[in-house]
Amino acid sequence: MSNKRTVTPNRNNAYTFPDGKPRDEFYNWMQNVTIQINGIEGEGSPVGVIDAVRLTMYVNILTNDIWIKRTPLGDNTGWQLL
């Protein structure tokens, strides 16, 4: 993810190229929103492994433990087990 916060794309800019592929700003927004809605899942603890924006949820699919990211993007620590 490239943004520290999910920011709505500027409605004065085109969202897609003429071939229908999304422009970077729109693609990044879609990716950030999807992750915020769905969270992240993986095998094992996210601590020291996964970097994400603050308040992202993570589920360890091996144990069903749920974690929340408490520090900003750019720090793969800061995960708290709920």
CA distances from 61 to 26, 27, 32, 65 (A): 30, 27, 21, 8
Q: How far apart are the C-alpha atoms of 55 and 70, rounded to whole Å?
A: 6
pLDDT of 21? 92
Half-sphere exposure (Cβ direction) of 60: Cα atoms closer than 13 Å:
16
Q: Residue 59's CB: how many other CB atoms inside 10 A?
A: 16
| Amino acid type, 22 | P
Contact call for residues 8 and 23 (beta carbons, < 8 A): no
pLDDT digits (tens, 9 = 90+) for 12-57: 888 889 999 988 888 888 888 888 788 899 999 999 999 988 889 9
pLDDT at 1: 42
